[in-house]
Structure 1
Amino acid sequence: MVADFYRILDSSSRGEFLGRRAELTALDAVLERRPAEARLVAVTGPAGAGKTRLVAQWLEEVRTRGCTVAAGSAEHPASMTPSEVLTSSLDHCLRHAPESVFDGLGAEELSWLAGLFPVLRQRWTARWPSDPAEISHVFGLARALLVRLARERSLVLFCDDMHWADPVSLEFLRFLFLDPPKAAIVIVLGYRPAQAGPGLTELVERVVRYGAAIRIELGPLTEDQTAGLLPAGADRLTRRLLHHDSAGNPGVAQELARAHGPRPELGHHPHGDELRSGIPHFVVPPVPEMRRLSPAALLALCAAAVCGDPFDLTMVAFVAQVTGAEAQTVLDELAAEHLVLPAADGGLRLRDPVVRAAAYHAAAPGWRQSAHTRAALLLRLAGAAPARQACHLEHTAIAGDTAGARVLTAAARDTVFTAPARALRWLEVAARLRQAEPDPADVLTRATALALDGRPAEARTLLVGLRRQRAALPEELRAATAEWLARTERWLGLTAEADETAHGEPAAGAEPGLWSEQLAVAVDSGTAWARRPGTGAPVDALPAEPAHRARCLSLLAASAWLGGQRGTAEGRARRAAELVDGLDDAALTGGLETLRWLGSTEAALGRREEAERHLLRGHRLVGLHGQRVLQRGFAVALAELCLSHHDLEGAGRYAEEAEQCAAYGPVAATAAGRPTEDPQSPLKLLSQREEQIAQLVSQGRTNQQIARELGLSHKTVETYLGRTFKKLGISARAQVALLVGRAG
């Protein structure tokens, strides 16, 4: 029987069970054989980790094996009654228990049990013990009652949310496991370790030490496990970002996925800093802990959500308009509820993006607007970075606020490589405030953001217009405009135009950015770079700045490989790798293509481990920072790497991602496109007709189109394609296209 179990389940969590298979197996092991004595199982993890969902799945399965299943949960301490966990867990079992369970018990004993279990008060008068000796006697009766319930069938009892457990329930569990009864009883405790009191922690540790308990800790899900919880329409980039933003927490991942709809646009949902300090673009119901907060604590939580992560006591007090002492008191309450946690770099943060969204939208719009105004004022007085101020100015600034426009523009410049979509929004707000023609430097920032955001054609239009004004531009801005125009033309596949732009400035040979673009145009078109007479910098005059030097060395290594100079390519790739590996992620965000050129060259040189490390690093960073224009290049490079080592499944995944990114930029013909140490093509396994059909599949033809072109039936084409999949060990048309492209 199930004891009102779904009363403690969120109905939306009941669906196909995915992930946590290892943990489910560990639970199964407890009941592999009928337990000879009572066992305790502690299932622990943070809020949203899936403790309830995991145990619910297990209880559904063990119920079919004939076990008696009972469940209940603790309530918040403020609303708790004595022995609440124990009584709520056993309520249904005792309500329907046969009379034989109570045989041999006297009236006084039944009265004591009725005092402990309210459901029995319908039969007997309740009596609560008045001294410790009587309490021990009542616990002994309850222990005997559990043994009777487990007499014929194993009894599995689930007590959820034990971090809020009442003292009486904890004391009973301590009593029970001082001398575990010789009966088939399994008691499962679900709780959050960070909120568990010392009594619960000590109890579990002691029983584990005695060998009568096991502990199952729910850590973060893997990326693949998280993907299984998300809508089928979500692309790989979106799945990866949702995994990152949820930190592998299934509850948070599912809420974020629901917020972004069944098929969000590729990688174009709010993530990263936007979730932590920007506009929460989704609304969720208040999390359960919010409903129990005092009015003052709820106000402080809303203020913290407006402030964004990280925040501190002073900021919350100022935004909420309370004293420092009052803010400290309510922050302690929020910390006790585990809604506010210490931030990694100091200060405080909200537990997760779901809590922030719930608190942000719980505040009235008018109050929220005023709160942003107060936050912006405090940050300006404190001399905070423009990006911190911009998070609030975009909500509050009004037309004519030129000072606010300057802050927003500076913030956009600071974040154009780490959050180009956000930088674009801030530039748009700044333009409305300024009500004047934008400064040429702002136009360049906007074009940079557009290009990185996957809109290079729009960026090129702006840059062409800006370049027409080059006579009036400072030399540095003129060179930067030419560099970014050449780059966007390269990303658009306009190789001749990009080459001409990169060589067209008088300072092209002395300007590192333009010179590296000359190299990039050649490498991405699959040819070795050749310096034009009178242009281009000498190879031994590389820029001193490490990130730019690494960029140039990576390009020179790729160019050397394309020119057949293996030894030179190896030397330059090693030097570039030493520089790249010594740089943190922040130093590379302005030139993430370095990692693609370097990784592709290393792959061509047969250095798989280094290639994989650099390509995966770039792939991760372009996703996290929303540089969508580069996503396809990394996906193709990784697909090529997988394919060269016969990992067709991995190649297919990245090929699918490359197809999804097709709108944001062409595939570059990098060094990895040249033959590696193993030139054998899997296509040689195919018959002439199978290879012919594979070629047509790679061109995007449907089965019906192929049938018409070859004069075959639709069924025959399907048969040939099935044989092709089987011979090549693949399962998707994208993988066929990749293999054909690889074979040339």
Structure 2
Amino acid sequence: MIGRSDELENLFGAFRRLDKRGRTAGLAVVTGDAGIGKTSLLAEFAALVQSHGAVIRSGRAIRGTATGPAGILGDALDDHDHTQDDDAVDPRGVRALLTRLAGGALVVILDDCHLASPAALRMLGAMLRKPPSAPVLFVLCFRDRQTSAGLRSTIQDRSRHLPITQVHLGPLTERDMHRMLADQGTTVWRRNLYRESGGNPGYLHALLSARTVKWQNDPIRGAHRVAYDDSAGFIAEFDGISAEAKATADAGAVIGDDFDLDLLTAVVDLPESDVLAGIDELIGRDLVRPLDRGRCFAFRHPVVRRAVYQHSELCVRISLHAKADEVLRARGATPAERATHVQHGIRHGDLEGVKLLTEAAKAVVATQPLAAEAWLRTALRALPSRDDTMATRAMLLVARAKALGTIGRLRDCRQTLLEAMVLLPPDARDLRGEAVAALAAVERLLGTHGSADAVLRAEIEARGDDFSAPSAALRLEIAHTELVKGDPMACRWWAREALAMARREGDRALEASSLGLMGKADGTAGNGESAAAHLAQATAILDMMLDDEHTASLDAAVWIGWSEILLVRWYDAARHFDRAVDRAVRADNGLVLPQLLLGQVLALHARGRLVDASEAARNACHLAESSGSQGQLFAAKAMLAWASAGLGTPDKRAEQEASAMVQDADAVVGWQSLLALRMLAETKLAAGDPQGCLDLVPAAGGPNLPGSNPCSRVSWYELMTRAELEAGNPEAAAKWAELAVSAGMLLDHPGRSALGHLAMAQLLLATDPLAALARAEDAVEGLAATGAIFDELRARVVLGMALWHAGRRDDAQRELRAARAGLERIGATPWAKRAELERRRLITQNGQRATENASDRPAVLTRREQQIADLVRDGLTNRQIARKLHIAEKTVEMHLTNVFAKLGVGNRAGVAAHVSDHQARSLTV
């Protein structure tokens, strides 16, 4: 009963209020729309009151039957003569029967009362006007939109001594719906389902069924996939309707979810009076509802229309589609408005229909790629295979390939493009340019961009001085490839060429993409000033776009968002990625959505929205798994492992799968893969495996990180500093910390140099604690200025420790307490625990004698703690220690926490230093 606990409690309250001495009965009324869950609530309620000793009698009114008092009171009248006429049934006998059945308490549940016959309502009214002298609770359930005047009178004319409890079921909240679907799909998928269902469980189930396919074996066709049909319940609502209403419903379903009276009348080919009578009948059953705008109507929900459409006769559907298209053509409708009807009625060789479907697909491919792909597929089937149609077929194949790419079917897109390029005539220069650019984009996303690069350059050379939009797209694709290859300056040169052509053609989307890519190239090269200038121009264009134009410019949003990440503009990056992801989801754009989601994960994480970052990473995995791109899959898995680890809920499967892909040459290619490697390294360190973290450096190109941009190098170096400290290697950590400081200073940006200061502060805490304070303060200040909330809170933990070592213990306590609260607020559980551990350790240290000597501290360790401290000094990880001592890894963590507190250190390097120092002193003595 997700989301229905209050309603169930309210209904159970009516049962509890029954007068067990039998002086007063009760009435409960349960209302709500079709599919909202009324019957499920009644079943749960019946089981609940039955467990409390109640006798249950139930009945259901059924449409199309002569439902008398027996039909509506059901089992409650099992002992009554059901053969009697409705009017011959004596209410006194029924009342006596109910009194006899009551015993301790009787609950009479009557479902679908809106379908009850007049005779049944008369009987029910008699019971409510003069209730049985027994503890009887009448529970009436019906659809409030279909409540008849007779049913309303029956309830209103009840005895004034009969208390009534009203229970209305409204739509579930989005949170409740997510709980219902917790183990299915992704957050984006669940959110779309919620939006489509309107929070109605019945519609949700139907939508899920429509998405469900299963394998079916057929002796002729063999194994094939078929959709699971769950529309029988909705079709049953049409039982018994008139021929006019049936014809009206069939025609309305062909037209769409909503329709106007004039179009409906023309399509159904009946007098308007008959059509209106049919609509009135459908409205009376709440199958169709009037809209606010004039003579317009809509089905109660799209799943109802879908059910009507699927269960209408095929010959009727085809005829209605043809008639609808005829009327719309006479009205001057657009190709997109006519395409669905043409799609279902087009004949082979209908060149006019092929042209219309092509124009319609071109108009909607950015916002409705699934529909565009279906129309183009139909157009290709209808196009005859002749010499004079080969150019048209090639054009259709290129258009369909783009639609396939947009919905994320990259390999199908690639195959369709190759097929098209074989058919392209020599004079189709622009079309060939589009095909080559699209092929290069798909090859890049699939990680096989090498061959496409040669084709791109050959095509540009063949076009000469052409400055059209296809030429600009070709240059932009080469710029993309150069960036993947790690040459930002070459990327910038080609993007500048594309920019000039885009401006000449007046193509705003291409212009914004070129500027965004130039900003990304400049940021990658460490040229922050130039990157900021190009970013400002690109952002000005993108932010002025309305939704549909923005949806067609999602490639620009990708590069603008990543440029903002490089410039450490976390707030702007999150804003742009949020909008772009929303538009891509609404448009079913699977081509750029994985790239957008990866950028969104990073921006959300930096802004402290860790839960949202984890969900975005999960969505990216879902899309990458169906894309066929190993690079996208590796990046998504690494991001998911990283985001989950930050929340303290590690996704071991994602980490293992990403780790297994590290050696895959098709997976670890380009700047996004290097970013993913760092996320995977972070994950391993969070899991207590510093050596596993360090082992990923060679995959990133070695200590110099040649494939990484200067901004990413600072993050790598700070991470490696932590890993070496955790492994107990302060000398190695010092080298990484120095690299982090140097790399940060070269960028001349407070956000990047702050990470270098953070790396050095952590090193100094382990080696020279008194010198750590200034570095920690610089780190906090720089990170706070850029909006990097998560890293700022990490730095505040280090600052708290540095303050304590500087003798400012009250300030240290406040800083650590604030850092812990901030980390808890954003969901960074592991880091919050660390902050609290440090705070408690400081409290313990404050209580110790000031004369306590550091050399005495190891003596207070237990035998097991001493064993673990010695193994930490030897460089073993928690996992290795657990295996060596034959204990659980969690036990090692618990003992190590105690060791930290007793020795007054905050990391493994401090443990190693204290143990080594103590042993050296012992040998000297």
Give me the TM-score of the superposition, normalised by structure 2: 0.57
Q: Which residue number corresponds to residue 453 of structure 1?
A: 407
Residue in structure 2 matched with residue 339 of structure 1 by the alignment: 287
1:50-449 mapped onto 2 (5 Å cutoff): 50-76=37-63, 79=65, 81=67, 84=69, 88=71, 90-93=73-76, 95=78, 119=80, 152-153=104-105, 155-165=106-116, 186-197=137-148, 212-220=164-172, 222=174, 225=177, 228=180, 239=190, 241-261=192-212, 282=229, 284-285=231-232, 287-342=235-290, 347-435=296-384, 436-439=389-392, 441-449=395-403
Larger Rg: 2
Give the 5 Å matches for 1:460-479: 460=414, 463=417, 472-473=427-428, 477=431, 479=433
Code of the aligned partner of 2:406: L
Deviations 1:70-129 (A, max 9, x none): 3333344x64656x5xx6554424547xxxxxxxxxxxxxxxxxxxxxx36799997579
Answer yes or no: is the 8 Å Cα contact 1:233–1:263 preserved in 2: no
Q: Which amino acid aligns with 2:245?
A: A
Q: 1:213 to 1:725 in 2, by over 3 A?
A: farther
Deviations 1:127-159 (A, max 9, x none): 579xxxxxxxx69x9889878866733x44433
- Give, in whole Å, the separation in 2 of the partners of 1:689 and 1:557: 35
| Structure 2: distance between partners of 1:556 and 1:246 | 43
Cα offset, 1:354, TM superposition: 3.4
What is the one-letter code of the residue matched to 1:429?
A: T
Contact 1:397–1:433, Cα closer than 8 Å, also in 2: yes
Within the candidate set 576, 588, 592, 1:626 is matched to 588
Query: Which protein has the bigger helix share?
Result: 2
- Gaps in structure 2 of 5+ consecutive residues: 216-225, 636-669, 701-876, 896-925
Q: CA deviation at 1:234?
A: 5.5
Farther-moved stretch of structure 1 (241-250 vs 330-339): 241-250
Would you say the 8 A contact 1:640–1:672 is kept in 2? Answer: no
2:524 corresponds, among 562, 566, 573, to 562
SS in 1 for 2:286: coil
Q: Give the aligned residue type for 1:321.
A: D
CA spacing shift, 1:204–1:528, aligned 2, 3 Å: farther
Answer whether contact 1:236 1:657 (CA < 8 A) is retained: yes
Q: Does the CA-based 8 Å contact 1:51-1:218 persist in structure 2?
A: no
Task: Choose between structure 1 and 2 for higher RCO, CA contacts under 8 A separated by at least 6 residues.
Answer: 1
* Distance verdict in 2 for CA 1:539–1:437, change over 3 Å: closer
Using the alignment, how far apart are the partners of 2:29 and 2:306 within structure 1? 31
The residue number in structure 1 matching 2:549 is: 587
* Cα separation, 2, equivalents of 1:310 and 1:65: 48
Contact 2:570/2:606 (<8 A) preserved: no
In structure 2, the partner of 1:684 is 685
8 Å CA contact 2:351–2:383 kept in 1: the answer is yes
Q: Quote the Cα distance in structure 1 between the aligned partners of 2:486 and 2:189.
A: 30
Give percent identity, aligned residues only: 26
SS in 1 for 2:141: strand
Instruction: Say whether the 8 Å CA contact 1:229–1:254 is kept in structure 2.
Output: no
In 2, Cα distance between equivalents of 1:176 and 1:53: 25
Match of 2:718 in 1: none
Q: Say which is worse superposed, 61-70 or 663-672, in terms of deviation.
A: 663-672
**Cα displacement (A) at 1:48:** 1.6
Question: Structure 1 residues 203 and 526 mapped into 2: Cα distance closer, same or farther (>3 Å)?
Answer: farther
Q: What's the TM-score, normalizing by structure 1?
A: 0.69
Structure 1 range deviating more: 413-422 or 28-37: 28-37
Q: More deviation in 355-364 or 280-289?
A: 280-289
- 1:409-437 residue CA offsets vs partner (Å, 9 max, x unmatched): 22222232334344333333323433131
- Work out whether residues 311 and 349 of structure 1, in 8 Å CA contact, stay in contact via their aligned partners in 2: yes
Q: CA deviation at 1:200?
A: 5.9
- Shift of the 67–426 alpha-carbon distance from structure 1 to 2, 3 Å rule, reads same
Is the CA contact 2:235–2:307 (under 8 Å) kept in the aligned structure 1? yes
Q: Deviations over 1:681-722 (max 9, x none)?
A: 4643443489479989x99xxxxxxxxxx9x99x97999899
1:526-580 residue CA offsets vs partner (Å, 9 max, x unmatched): 7756532883436996986665555455445544543445677677667766765
Moved more, 561-570 or 328-337: 561-570
Say whether the 8 Å CA contact 1:604–1:674 is kept in structure 2: no
Residue-by-residue CA offset, 1:497-549 (whole Å, 9 max, x unaligned)? 66666673656877454565455556667775653288343699698666555
Contact kept? 2:95, 2:131, Cα under 8 Å? no
Question: Of residues 535, 538, 542 in structure 1, which corresponds to 2:497?
Answer: 535
Please say if residues 523 and 531 of structure 2, whose CA atoms lie closer than 8 Å, have aligned partners that are also in contact: yes
- Alignment of 1:487 with 2:444, yes or no, is no
SS in 2 for 1:65: coil
Question: 1:90/1:603 Cα in 2 relative to 1: closer, same or farther (>3 Å)?
Answer: farther
Contact 1:600–1:671 (CA under 8 A) maintained in structure 2: no
Cα offset, 1:293, TM superposition: 0.8
Deviations 1:304-332 (A, max 9, x none): 22333333333333333322222121122
Q: Is the 8 Å Cα contact of residues 601 and 671 (structure 1) preserved in structure 2?
A: no
Q: After superposition, give the CA deviation of every residue in 1:213-255 in whole Å (9 maximum; x if it has no partner).
A: 344332145277267369x676666655544443443222323
Distance 2:96 2:297 in 1: 48
Secondary structure of the residue aligned to 1:291 is coil
- Judged with a 3 Å threshold, the aligned counterparts in structure 2 of structure 1 residues 310 and 64 are, in CA distance, closer, same or farther, namely same
Alpha-carbon separation, structure 2, partners of 1:515 and 1:616:
28
CA distance in 2, matches of 1:314, 1:630: 42
Cα deviation, residue 191, structure 1: 3.0
| Aligned-partner SS, 2:332 | coil
Query: How far off its partner does 1:337 sit?
Result: 1.5
Paired positions, count? 643
Cα shift at 1:302: 1.8
* Distance across 2 between alignment mates of 1:572 and 1:211: 72
CA contact (8 A) 1:390 1:426 kept: yes
Q: Indicate if the aligned counterparts of 1:408 and 1:426 stay in contact, CA closer than 8 A.
A: yes
Matches within 5 A, 1:510-525: 511=469, 513-514=473-474, 516-517=476-477, 520-521=480-481
Counterpart amino acid of residue 50 in structure 1: G
Match of 1:704? none
Separation in structure 2 between the aligned mates of residue 542 and residue 220 of structure 1, nearest angstrom: 52
How many Å apart are 1:58 and its aligned residue? Answer: 2.6
Q: How does 1:39-58 map to 2 (within 5 A)?
A: 40-58=27-45
